[in-house]
Copies of this chain bind each other. A is one copy, B any other.
């Protein structure tokens, strides 16, 4: 079952009207871009990462985004505090396991965070495969971590069941699964890979959709569809990655229903 264009549009409109507060504990590379992507979308971002206040702040928020791109020990402690409080307060949260396969430190950190029950995990194919291999069912499956998002889909399905979360793989094609259903989103553009942190922005945008829609699966699909369409339009008008970053914000801000509907390429997959 896919998510129809009118539902996606309705959720985007809800963000623009409600301006939900999205609490981000994210990496230093993308803080500015992520905040700007959320503002352009219509949400209210806050980047708050001190253990002295993350628990207080997350209860004021409508969603929590945790991204480990430039993780360090104090920030990891804050992430755990915030994620635990999010669960008890009923605030949906999403985990972006940036580069999880690169070092033992990242693998351990993401394992610990994944146990705190994120509602959604979004990563690229390699990241999702690394996570899937760490689950009991995934041990020794040995999937090649250099393959694309389609190859990672099998791992994503198992991971989604194991940790009871929606798992999103982004790449040339994005896939969203809850372990049973799979939706493919074929929007986006290769130039997007030449701008740092657009995956991180996609994660934050999912956070904004989670803030206005309890159906986690539909919210995740809608977010990646909107972000993919905006990125695709921006890339088509950009001579290079500098312009793309600027036009992506302009496009997110101005996206209308007719343009969104005409561009959407969302379908069920398996």
Contacts and interface: CB of A to CB of B under 8 A. Distances in A.
Contact of A196 (B28, B29, B36, B70): B36
A269 B60 CA distance: 35
Interface string A186-215: 000000011111000000000000000000
Contacts of A195: 36, 39
Given A33-B32, A250-B239, A105 B53 contact: yes
A53 B108 CA distance: 11
A241 B245 contact: no
Given A49-B72, A241-B39, A242-B40, A57 B196 contact: no
A88 interface: no
Contacts of A36: 195-196, 241-242, 245
Count copies of this chain in the complex. 3
Interface stretch (A5-13, A96-104, A174-182): A96-104
A56 interface: yes
A18 interface: no
B245 A240 contact: no
Contact of A56 (B57, B73, B104): B104
A29 B27 CA distance: 10
Nearest to A78: B72
A102 B245 CA distance: 30
A47 interface: yes
Contacts of A251: 240
A40 B70 contact: no
A17 interface: no
Given A30-B32, A240-B250, 15 more contacts: A35-B196, A36-B245, A39-B193, A39-B195, A39-B241, A40-B240, A46-B99, A47-B69, A52-B103, A52-B105, A53-B105, A56-B104, A240-B251, A242-B249, A245-B249
Q: Please provide the 8 A-B residue pairs with the shortest distance between their CB atoms, ordered closest to farther.
A: A240-B250, A242-B249, A35-B196, A242-B246, A53-B105, A240-B253, A53-B103, A50-B72
